[in-house]
Amino acid sequence: MGRNSGLSAQTGGVPVLILREGSGRTRGRDAQRNNIMAARTIAEAVKSALGPKGMDKMLVDSSGDVTITSDGRTILDKMDIEHPAAKMMVEVAKTQDAEVGDGTTTAVILASELLGKAEDLINKGVHPTVIVEGYSKAADKALETLEKIAIPVKPSGKEFLKKVAATSMASKLVAENKEQLAEIAVEAVLSVARKVGEGYLIDLDDIMVEKKPGESLTETKLIEGLVLDKEVVHSGMPKRVEKAKIALLESALEVKKTEFDAKINIESPEQIGYFLREEENMLKQMVEKIVASGANVVFCQKGIDDMTQHFLARKGISAVQRAKELDIEKLGKATGGKVVTNLEGLSESDLGFAGLVEERKIGDDKMTFIEGCKNPRSVAILIRGADKRFLDEAERSVHDALSVVRDVVQEPKIVAGGGAPEMEMARALRGYAETLPGREQLAARSFGEAMEIVPLTLGENAGLDPVDLLLELRTRHEKGEKWSGVDVFEGKIKDMRNLEVYEPVAVKKQTIKSATEAATMILRIDDVIASGKMKAPSMPPGGMPGGGYGGMPPEY
Ligand SMILES: Nc1ncnc2c1ncn2[C@@H]1O[C@H](COP(=O)(O)OP(=O)(O)OP(=O)(O)O)[C@@H](O)[C@H]1O
Ligand SMILES: [Mg+2]
């Protein structure tokens, strides 16, 4: 083990090349060590962002754009990562985000710790497949423990939903306003929830999130309807239309330009007049179509010609141009209107309805509000705040809050946080490991120890002593204090229920699933074969695995 050998063979003393020259190959222990190191380096980068005392990261991309965030997924997304095992950690965060919307940092830290513990076991001579087996059993046991300690809640019980939302934002830049934002998130999610059988289904795409610089975060509002970052195109159009009948158009309200260079010979001034009149007639006909349908508001995905704007204004019709495709779709859903591709086919039955469409000045810009929609389930959140970077981070935090509320409404079970559930799972795993045969026992015990990284990191980020913290937490959990966790503000161990720190069971479950999946996938690899096209520079000692596969000499 550990020696590298390329994919080559010998026939009668003549070497046969199988891989292109310049290809790299690492096998056995070296491959494992490299992959584990790369994956763990990634986790180191997000560790200090965990929890309310976690720090933010400033990420600068190649064009100089700056992002400030403490969101695990965003940090990893913005890093230019090339190492394949490191990329798998980015995938962990992505999966976590896609499935439950929060807990991305935790999932990555957990995966890394599972790999660290696995490496210790490998060094002691435990085979990776045994570790994988033990980890998989331990993960099942951990999930079972979570189910056992879970606190059932009412899916529409606002009190706990708000606490869960507030906890998700406690670790973000917006923490100061978490109560107010939690309230908005809960109202928003509950208004788009659809009852299906015994439970609820929620599509977060039904909640439109817009942001606008200016004012402050406290001015963030929930809007019963939609809001577009667009103004009414023509000053002569009404800025406020009650009982709006809305046409949603995909095509442009312009005369199509010829797609190839066409030359038209004009021989007399009358001909110019003829052409212009012809164009004007076509535009007029378009407007007539809209008027005939009975619409008094138009949302167009493409452009609206100046002259068309003028005709529409004369007819008292309000219009917005170049709306985003997604927004047009949302408008369709909210107003009950049908998106029309060809104006020829527009009829009254295609129109959507809203109680009020109004252009309002927000900050320095104008936005269009669509309220009192046919579908009462459509809502929007308009986030306000000092500058763009702050707004972007606020939007990510609102996304986390909306996600955790959705998680609980869909699966109405919660746990107290602050590392308490992880300690409880670790405790259960200590007992469970005893029941496993041979070396799997070691793996299951390691899995439990790895879970302790969550309270440990929360404590470390709050400047607490890790050894004391862990000992006391273990003792308390052994005594049956299952919600003992880290109060990062007071620097003490407390019953997290008293601090009202609550998280969805769905998020905790997913962190275990995604972390175990990634760790076992990496552990199963014992051969890395890289094509010659990939450059294979060495990994800087202790540095970021920027490229290549860990300093292996190219072989063939
Ligand atoms: N007041 C608090 N005291 C102690 N721990 C807290 C408190 N509020 C939140 N936490 C804990 O902080 C952790 C979540 O931190 P954070 O939101 O930074 O990471 P994440 O949810 O794993 O990832 P991300 O939010 O970046 O997707 C959870 O373990 C949660 O229980
Ligand atoms: Mg979080």
Show the tokens assigned to 213: 């610089």
How far is Cα 374 from Cα 244, in angstroms, rounded to an integer? Answer: 11
Closest CA to 295 of 241, 215, 229: 241
Residue range 243-269: mean pLDDT, rounded: 82
Q: Is the pLDDT of residue 220 over 60?
A: yes
Q: Is the pLDDT of residue 142 over 50?
A: yes
| Each residue's pLDDT tens digit, 292-350 | 999 999 999 999 999 999 999 999 999 999 999 999 999 998 999 999 998 888 999 99
| Each residue's pLDDT tens digit, 404-437 | 999 999 999 999 999 999 999 999 999 999 999 8
Name the residues annotated as catalytic: 71, 104-105, 400
Show the tokens assigned to 31: 């491959």
Asked if 172 and 400 count as a contact pair (C-beta separation under 8 A), the reply is yes
Ligand 2 center from residue 226 Cα (angstroms):
27
Ligand 2 center from residue 75 Cα (angstroms):
13
How far is Cα 81 from Cα 511, in angstroms, rounded to an integer? Answer: 22
| pLDDT tier for residue 547 given thresholds of 50, 70 and 90 | very low
Residue nearest to atom 21 of ligand 1 (CA): 103
How far is Cα 239 from Cα 320, in angstroms, rounded to an integer? Answer: 11
Question: What is residue 17's predicted lDDT score, i.e. its pLDDT?
Answer: 67
Question: What is residue 259's predicted lDDT score, i.e. its pLDDT?
Answer: 62
Protein residues whose CB sits closer than 6 Å to any atom of ligand 1: 49-52, 54, 70-73, 102-106, 167, 170-171, 400, 417-419, 454, 458, 486-488, 499, 501, 503
| Each residue's pLDDT tens digit, 433-491 | 999 988 999 999 999 999 999 999 999 999 999 999 999 999 999 999 999 999 999 99
CB atoms closer than 10 angstroms to residue 154: 12
Question: What is residue 34's predicted lDDT score, i.e. its pLDDT?
Answer: 87
Q: What pairs with residue 244 in β-bridges?
A: 354
Q: Is the pLDDT of residue 186 over 90?
A: yes
Percent of the chain with pLDDT over 90: 71
Which range among 500-504, 536-540, 545-549 has the greatest average pLDDT? Answer: 500-504
Asked if 72 and 396 count as a contact pair (C-beta separation under 8 A), the reply is no
Residue range 523-546: mean pLDDT, rounded: 59
Question: What is residue 237's predicted lDDT score, i.e. its pLDDT?
Answer: 96
Closest CA to 168 of 216, 90, 114, 106: 106
Q: Is the pLDDT of residue 199 over 90?
A: yes
CB atoms closer than 10 angstroms to residue 250: 14
How far is Cα 304 from Cα 251, in angstroms, rounded to an integer? Answer: 9
- Among all bound ligands, the one having the nearest atom to the CA of 53 is 1
Residue nearest to atom 15 of ligand 1 (CA): 51
Q: Which atom of ligand 1 is closest in space to residue 485's alpha carbon?
A: 4
Residue range 117-128: mean pLDDT, rounded: 94
Residue nearest to atom 12 of ligand 1 (CA): 51
pTM of the entire predicted model: 0.86
How far is Cα 466 from Cα 475, in angstroms, rounded to an integer? Answer: 14
| pLDDT tier for residue 257 given thresholds of 50, 70 and 90 | low
Strands 240-249 and 297-300 come out as: parallel
Ligand 2 center from residue 102 Cα (angstroms):
5
Site to probe by mutation for ligand 1, drawn from 42, 48, 50, 55 as the one with most ligand atoms within 8 Å of Cβ, is 50
Question: What is residue 552's predicted lDDT score, i.e. its pLDDT?
Answer: 40
Ligand 2 center from residue 105 Cα (angstroms):
7
Q: Is the pLDDT of residue 39 over 60?
A: yes
Residue range 198-215: mean pLDDT, rounded: 92
Question: What is residue 9's predicted lDDT score, i.e. its pLDDT?
Answer: 63
Residue nearest to atom 31 of ligand 1 (CA): 417
Residue nearest to atom 6 of ligand 1 (CA): 418
Mean pLDDT of the chain: 89
Q: Which atom of ligand 1 is closest in space to residue 503's alpha carbon?
A: 31
Question: What is residue 541's predicted lDDT score, i.e. its pLDDT?
Answer: 45
Which range among 171-185, 364-378, 536-550 has the greatest average pLDDT? Answer: 171-185
| pLDDT tier for residue 545 given thresholds of 50, 70 and 90 | very low
Residue range 69-78: mean pLDDT, rounded: 89
Query: What's the N-to-C CA distance of the chain in angstroms?
Result: 19
3 state DSSP class of 11: strand
Q: Which atom of ligand 1 is closest in space to residue 417's alpha carbon?
A: 31
How far is Cα 473 from Cα 471, in angstroms, rounded to an integer? Answer: 6
| Each residue's pLDDT tens digit, 497-526 | 999 999 999 999 999 999 999 999 999 887
Residue range 344-367: mean pLDDT, rounded: 93
Q: Is the pLDDT of residue 238 over 50?
A: yes
Show the tokens assigned to 33: 């060590």
Site to probe by mutation for ligand 1, drawn from 168, 171, 424 as the one with most ligand atoms within 8 Å of Cβ, is 171
For 156, phi then psi, to 5°, come to: -105, 10
For 163, phi then psi, to 5°, come to: -65, -40
Asked if 248 and 299 count as a contact pair (C-beta separation under 8 A), the reply is yes
- Among all bound ligands, the one having the nearest atom to the CA of 503 is 1
Question: What is residue 258's predicted lDDT score, i.e. its pLDDT?
Answer: 58
Residue nearest to atom 29 of ligand 1 (CA): 418
Residue entry with tokens 């929007």: 380
